Structure formats: C-alpha cells, structure tokens
Chains A and B, each alone.
Chain A
Amino acid sequence: MKIRLEYASGTLIAKIKGEIDHHTSNELRTVLDKEIMEKSIKNLVLDFDKVTFMDSSGIGVIVGRYKKIDALGGQLMIIRAKGQVDKVLKLSGIKKILKCREEVSINE
C-alpha cells in the first residue's frame, strides 16, 4: 500500500494505492492521524481509486478517522471506491454515515 497526500484549503486528500488489510491499515492510521494532528486538517477525502482490496480492518480505520474528523467539526468523504472495496463499504453500513462520491465536492 502507498499513500500520497495532497492539500486543498483545510482539506487533506489521501490518495491510497494497493491493498488495505490488517497489515497495512496500521500505517494508514498512523499517517492520517499525524496529518490530522499536525496540519490542522478540517476535512478528509480518502481517494480509493487505486485501492484494489479492502477488508474489515479498513472499515475500522475509516470509522476511527470519521470519529476524529467529526469531533473536529469536519467532513470525511470517500471517493472513487469500486468493485470489492465498494462491496465491503456497503456491507459495513458506513456509506450511510459518510459521503461517498465519484469525485470531490465538499459543502456542495
């Protein structure tokens, strides 16, 4: 798994590539939390365009970040999830609590 970070006025866009499982989710959690803490991030966009696999460990990381961002008054959005990843997201029910879109658009 690789993570590329981009910033756009208070919004962190994390472009993730590869597979999110128990092994890789620890790094994802650490990287995102460091950015949220140190860069006063308000909104977080997780770009899943290049994520080829995710299991329940990924759900745990997303829900954990959602709680943090929500407590800070921001929004968490997932974009471009597809196939297996989208199926796991749907099953988890988190598509009901946070925004999932094809492309970025915060505060529309």
Chain B
Amino acid sequence: MNNYMRLEIPAKSTNEAFARMAVGAFVSQTDPTIEELSDIKTAVSEGVTNAIIHGYENMSGVVSIVCRIDEDMLEIVITDFGVGIENIEKAREPLYTSKPDEERSGMGFTVMETFMDDLLVESKLSEGTKITMRKRLKSR
C-alpha cells in the first residue's frame, strides 16, 4: 500500500486525543495488530503533547502531522513552529524534563523510541521542532 495523510491542528490539549485517533484510523487500513496500533497511538500522543506543552508552552500555535505508508513502512512526522530544543541529546535522555515542577516525568522521548522503530529529532531554537518516527508493520 502507498498512502499518506496530512493533518493540521491548533495546539489545544483536546486535540491530543483527536490526533492519536486520526492517525490510528489512518493506520488501520494496513490491518495492524492491536499492539502495533496502540504503540503508534501512544507515540503520536507523546509527540503532539510535547509540541503543545513545550513547543508552544500552552500558547496558541499549529501542529502538523504527516503520515506516510509505503508498503510495510509507516512514517509519522510531527512538526511545531515553537521555541525549539536547545540540547536535543539531553532532551532525549530518559527522565530528563525541563518542567519537573509540572510533574512531567521525562519519559516522552523514551516512549516514542521504544514504541516505534526509530526516532529522528530535528530542532532549531525559536523556529520549532520536527520529529520523524518510523515503524515497520509486521502484521501484513
């Protein structure tokens, strides 16, 4: 199968559930296993939540989500045009969070890395952040 979808949503926390469900519905065409589907939805939830709370610091902004399916390969790109990440390596460390006072656990990137096959993080200060996640769908 060869397919893609592009979704643009305002950075509102109600859209976190919408985004993961929309991606889930799109990916469902490939007949994934229940576990693959929940892994993908969890990773999307982490990426979109990060864009909202870190990228835009709960202010207004646009989050873009692009999904591509190329045979058995799924690629999800989540982009924000917010504050950006100063030190990507540090941000990706398990348990690192810049907002410990808000009870964040610093597990978002670890979840994305674990639940998907690979994760690429590109970011520029005051320009934004783009994360690219890939997963090979084994069920087909």
Residue B114 CB within 8 A of the other chain = yes
Q: Is the CB of A22 within 8 A of B38?
A: no
- A84-B42, A91-B114 known; A21-B103 Cβ under 8 A: no
Residues of A29-76 contacting chain B, CB below 8 A: 29, 53, 55-57, 59-61, 63-64
Q: Are the CB atoms of B105 and A53 closer together than 8 Å?
A: no
Contacts of B39 in A (CB 8 A): 84
> Do residues B16 and A59 form an inter-chain contact, with CB atoms below 8 A?
no
Q: Which residues of B contact A59 (CB under 8 A)?
A: 105, 107
The answer for the CA separation of A63 and B49 in the assembled complex, in Å, is: 19
Main secondary structure of the interface of B (DSSP, over half): helix
Given known A21-B45, A23-B17, contact A88–B105 (CB-CB < 8 A)? no
CA distance A56 to B115 in the complex (A): 13
Asked if B17 contacts A21 (CB within 8 A), the reply is yes
Contact B107 A29 (CB under 8 A): no
Could you tell me if B105 and A92 are in contact, using CB atoms closer than 8 angstroms? yes
Say yes or no: A22 contacts B53, CB within 8 Å. yes
Specify the chain A residue showing the minimal Cβ separation from B45: A55
Residue of B with least CB distance to A59: B105
Q: Does B90 contact A (CB under 8 A)?
A: no
Given contacts A59-B107, A63-B103, A92-B107, contact A19 B17 (CB under 8 A): yes
Chain A contacts for B17, CB-based, 8 A: 19, 21, 23
CA distance A23 to B45 in the complex (A): 11
Judge whether B105 and A63 touch: CB under 8 Å.
yes
Q: Which chain B residues lie closer than 8 Å to A21 at the CB level?
A: 13, 16-17, 45, 49
CA distance A46 to B105 in the complex (A): 18
- B contact residues around A83 at 8 Å (CB): 34, 38
Determine if B103 and A55 form an interchain contact, defined as CB atoms under 8 angstroms apart: no
State whether B16 touches A23 (Cβ < 8 A): yes
User: Which chain A residues have a beta carbon within 8 Å of chain B's beta carbons?
Assistant: 19, 21-23, 29, 53, 55-57, 59-61, 63-64, 83-84, 87-88, 91-92
- Sample of 13 further A-B pairs with CB below 8 A, known A60-B102, A63-B103: A21-B49, A22-B13, A23-B13, A53-B42, A55-B49, A55-B108, A56-B105, A57-B104, A59-B107, A61-B103, A84-B41, A88-B111, A92-B105
9 smallest beta-carbon distances between A and B, as pairs: A23-B13, A84-B38, A60-B103, A56-B107, A64-B103, A59-B105, A55-B45, A22-B49, A60-B105
